[in-house]
Amino acid sequence: MTPENGGFIHSSDPFATPDGDKSPVRRLRGRLASPVTLWTAPGPAGLTVSSMLVADGDPGRVLGLVDEESEFWDAVSAAGRFAVIPLEPGDQQLADKFAGLMPAPGGLFAAGDWTETEWGPVPAAAATWAGCRLDGERPYGWGLLIEATVEKVTADDAPDGPLMHFRGRYRSLNR
C-alpha cells in the first residue's frame, strides 16, 4: 500500500460501481472535493461525514447529511449536541472505521486517545473541532439533513491541511 494509490493494494477499487452504472447526480457529487470530517456525540457514537457545510454568522451554523439509521443519529437525537472534527491526512483509517468500511475491534472509540467533551469525544490530537447544538432535521435526498448551531470552536492550523475526498479516494491539498 502506498499513499499514491490511496492506501489500496490496487490502483482501483475492485468493488466500486462503474461510472456508467452510477446515477448522474452521484457522478456529479464524486467530481466535487469534499472535506472528510468525524462527527461524534455523547453515548459515545460517531460517523464519518463528507456532505457538510459551515455557514458563518451570528451564530455560526453547521449543516450535514447523515444516515438516519446510524447509531450516531440515535445518539445525537437523544443528546441534542455533537462535535465536528475536520480530519487530516493520516486519518484515513479513522475515517474508514467510522464510515463502517474497516473493522473496529473493541468498538469505534477503543483505539487512540480521546478527550471527552460535552458535545462528544474528540481525538486528543485534534487541533480543530466544533461543538454544535442540534436545531433540527429533515429528510433530504437519501439522507437526513441536520441543522445545528456552533456553540464552541477550537481552531489551530493543521500542518498538512485537511483530508479531502474526491472521486472515491482520499486526497490532501499537498498532493
44: preceding bond cis by omega (within 30 degrees)? yes
Total-model pTM: 0.85
The pLDDT value recorded for residue 130 is 98
Q: Would you tell me how many other CB atoms lie within 10 Å of the CB of residue 12?
A: 11
Residues 6+ apart with CB under 8 A from 78: 43
Q: Say if residues 165 and 34 touch (Cβ distance below 8 Å).
A: yes
| Bridge partners (DSSP) listed for residue 39 | 47, 84
**Range of the structural domain that residue 68 is part of:** 33-105+114-170
The pLDDT value recorded for residue 170 is 87
The pLDDT value recorded for residue 1 is 41
Whether 141 is in a domain gets the answer yes
Number of domains the chain contains: 1
Whether 164 is in a domain gets the answer yes
The pLDDT value recorded for residue 3 is 46
Domain of 118, CATH number, reads 2.30.110.10
Whether 5 is in a domain gets the answer no
Cα separation, 44 vs 147, whole angstroms: 20
Cα 156 to chain centroid distance, Å, stands at 18
Average pLDDT along the chain, 175 residues, taken 10 residues at a time: 47 65 77 90 96 96 96 97 95 94 92 96 95 97 96 86 86 77
